[in-house]
């Protein structure tokens, strides 16, 4: 009697690979949709953190940082700004979840003291995915 070797045939391996590919094609789009939502929520949370730090800066200094001073004023030591009692953020925020810088301007538009926004996933001003602190 001939002994049969145990193992998988090429056809069996191909069937398993096809099944895994079909399952991943169903699950992957749902996971990537969650990733986009998570980035948007992260951007809103970071902007709320900036807003709190900006308000603390205003309480100490009596004004919001100028556009030229920018957000870096919240974590960089500034002995030249009278009343500065920071850092107002524990560490530098390198950018939004899409690896671009947040846009800060003071004074802001529409009677706001400042503007703070991100261009979102497309990185371009005016897109439907722009995120503002005032939204």
pLDDT per residue as tens digits for the range 13-48: 888 888 888 887 777 777 666 777 788 888 888 999
This prediction's pTM = 0.71
Question: H-helix or E-strand containing 125?
Answer: none
Q: For each of the chain's 135 residues, which pLDDT tens digit applies?
A: 566 667 778 888 888 888 888 887 777 777 666 777 788 888 888 999 999 999 999 999 999 999 998 898 898 877 788 888 878 988 888 888 888 889 999 888 888 899 998 988 877 787 767 888 877
- Can you state the percent helix, strand and coil of the chain, rounding each to 5? 40, 5, 50
CA distance 73 to 65: 7
3-state secondary structure of 116: strand
CATH 1.10.3720.10, applies to 11-132: no
**Domain segments of the chain as ranges:** 11-132
Q: What is the pLDDT of residue 60?
A: 92
Predicted confidence at residue 57, as pLDDT, reads 93
């Amino acid at each position: 009697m001939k002994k049969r070797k145990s193992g998988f045939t090429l056809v069996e391996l191909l069937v398993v690979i096809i099944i895994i590919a079909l399952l991943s094609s169903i699950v992957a789009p749902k996971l990537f949709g969650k990733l986009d939502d998570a980035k948007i929520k992260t951007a809103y949370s970071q902007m709320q953190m900036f807003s709190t730090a900006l308000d603390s800066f205003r309480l100490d200094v009596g004004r919001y940082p100028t556009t030229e001073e920018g957000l870096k004023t919240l974590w960089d030591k500034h002995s030249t700004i009278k009343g500065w009692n920071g850092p107002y953020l524990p560490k530098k925020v390198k950018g939004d979840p899409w690896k671009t810088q947040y846009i800060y301007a003071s004074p802001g538009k529409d009677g706001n003291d400042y503007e703070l926004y991100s261009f979102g996933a497309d990185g371009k001003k005016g897109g439907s995915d722009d995120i503002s602190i005032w939204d």
